[in-house]
């Protein structure tokens, strides 16, 4: 059972397009929250590890996000860097949907 004290409401599921992402800022940090093709949700740190570009502005296809600046790509489920010039993985955070609301565990 997860520790509820660490879960933060981010948005409603309907706020994110399927195979889409939105930026979520919390406590001075920025994150990207993704909705996969099967409506599963994921959260990563919001900035590309190559340069500090917001990944929520990138292209989401299937379970990958492509950085809008140099087309580096990540698997947003695991944070794995999939394509250069991005070579450092993203940090990931647990995410879930409860009653249509997306919550992320940032603790
Ligand atoms: S800033 Fe993201 S790949 Fe360069």
List, for residues 41-79, the tens digit of each pLDDT value.
Answer: 999 999 999 999 999 999 999 999 999 999 999 999 999
Q: Is the pLDDT of residue 1 over 70?
A: no
- Closest protein CA for atom 1 of ligand 1: 51
Atom of ligand 1 nearest to the CA of 49: 2
- Please state, in angstroms and rounded to a whole number, the distance separating the CA atoms of residues 34 and 27: 19
pLDDT score, position 33: 98
CA of 12 to the centre of ligand 1 (A): 28
Q: 1-10, 26-35, 78-87, 90-99: which has the minimum mean pLDDT? A: 1-10
Q: Is the model's pLDDT at 2 over the cut of 60?
A: no
DSSP 97: E
Tokens of 88: 């450092």
Model pLDDT, residue 6: 85
Q: Which atom of ligand 1 sits closest to the CA of residue 71?
A: 3
pTM (2 d.p.) = 0.93
| pLDDT for the residue numbered 107 | 73
Ligand 1 closest atom vs CA 53? 1
3-state secondary structure 21-62: EEEEEECCEEEEEEECCCCCEEEEECECCCCCCEHHHCEEEC
Distance of alpha carbon 102 from alpha carbon 11, whole angstroms: 5
């Amino acid at each position: 059972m997860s520790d509820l004290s660490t879960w933060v409401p981010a948005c409603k599921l309907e706020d994110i397009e399927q195979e889409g992402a939105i930026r979520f800022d919390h406590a001075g940090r920025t994150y990207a929250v993704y909705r996969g093709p099967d409506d599963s949700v994921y959260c990563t740190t919001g900035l590309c590890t190559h340069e500090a570009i917001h990944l929520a502005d990138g292209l989401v296809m299937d379970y990958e996000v492509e950085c809008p600046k140099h087309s580096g790509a990540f698997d947003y489920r695991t944070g794995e860097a999939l394509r250069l010039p991005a070579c450092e993985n993203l940090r990931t955070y647990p995410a879930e949907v409860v009653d249509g609301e997306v919550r992320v565990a940032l603790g």
